[in-house]
Amino acid sequence: MAAGGRDSAIDKQLVESVVVNELGIVGDEQAESFHGGSERALLQYDCGHYDGLRHQFPDASGCLVPGGFGENIVAAGMNEETLCIGDVVMIGDVRAQISLPRAPCFKLNDRFGVADMAHYVQQHAVTGWFYRILDGGRIAVGDEIVVIKRPNPQWSIARVMHYLYIEPDNFAVAAELSVLPALGNEIARVFAKRVDSGQVENWQGRLYGSSRKPTDDNTASR
């Protein structure tokens, strides 16, 4: 359970090696069915983000350690700015493709005891990203992660997140992103719905749950 009494499978423990199939790590736990699925098979996080987060939220520093965001893979030198939607990578003998930026939810607030943690990481593009699995296999600690294909070099994860969260009412770009090859349906549908409706969806339930405590930096929340 996360702090606050809600079910959560966010706590991850270090293991030396795992077997991965199209749904993710064999035996991995998901507290909510919508947190899993083939387009969310693996979650990676940049270990370098933790330094900045500990500086920003010193009271939560004890939890801001690798694995703290519930990631399956933590590595240095790869982040939302350097990787692109659709990148195909080899990790051990697993071939995976970047499918989605993580859409953070209020359970991060519970986890770290910070009322607007989900909003902060969303607006600063330090959320992590998901992979779909193209070929399953085994991943072990120390395996190199190698990008072997980049079909969308103009669309870094961070740039997609900019139009998802910072400039969400740019409907011309939303139309382009709604059909971006390899972008997972979950986010592609968000962009398509914006184009069809001419409106941006409300994020408050996802970011804050039943309670809402925005910061002064919350002008982009909806």
Q: How large is the average pLDDT for residues 112-131?
A: 98
pLDDT (0 to 100) of residue 217: 42
Contacts of 172 (CB under 8 A, 6+ apart): none
Inside any domain, residue 36: yes
Does a structural domain hold residue 188?
yes
In total, how many domains does the chain have? Answer: 1
Let me know if residue 1 belongs to a domain: no
The model's pTM is 0.87
Q: How far apart are CA 23 and CA 176, in angstroms?
A: 28
**Residue range 189-194: average pLDDT?**
99
**6 within domain boundaries:** no
Residue 69: predicted pLDDT: 96
- Structural domain contains residue 4: no
pLDDT tens per residue across span 31-51 = 344 456 999 999 999 999 999
Calculate Rg over the CA atoms of the chain: 17
CATH at 85: 2.40.33.20
